[in-house]
Amino acid sequence: MATVTAKGQVTIPKSVRDFLGIVPGSEVEFRRAADGTVVLTRADAKRPASRFAKLRGHAGEGLDTDTIMALTRGET
């Protein structure tokens, strides 16, 4: 919940800003959905990385599957 100021401004709650990746300078869009609700979305092309994308990586250059499996089993 947010309170509208005399200037018509509201503060977007931190949890929503964090979820959408909104930082100072981000552009947001307000649009009315078919059911009459108002939806806030990020209007610029930048999208926050998913929690899984942050974990994505690789085991190293040039390692094949057998080597990776041996490493995970502690065989090397």
Q: Is 4 inside any structural domain?
A: no
The Cβ of residue 66 has, within 10 Å, a number of other Cβ atoms equal to 9
- The verdict on residue 20 lying in a domain is yes
Taking the C-alpha atoms of residue 69 and residue 63, their distance in angstroms, rounded to an integer, is 10
pLDDT digits (tens, 9 = 90+) for 37-46: 999 988 876 6
Q: How far apart are CA 58 and CA 67, in angstroms?
A: 13
Is 2 among the domain residues?
no
What pLDDT is recorded for position 6? Answer: 96
Structure pTM?
0.52
Give the tens place of pLDDT for each residue, 4-13.
Answer: 999 999 999 9
Domain of residue 30: give its range: 14-73
Beta partners for 31? 39
What is the pLDDT, as a whole number, of residue 32?
94
CA 34 to each of CA 7, 29, 31, 58: distance values in angstroms, whole numbers, following the listed order: 28, 16, 10, 43
Beta-bridged to residue 40, according to DSSP, are 30
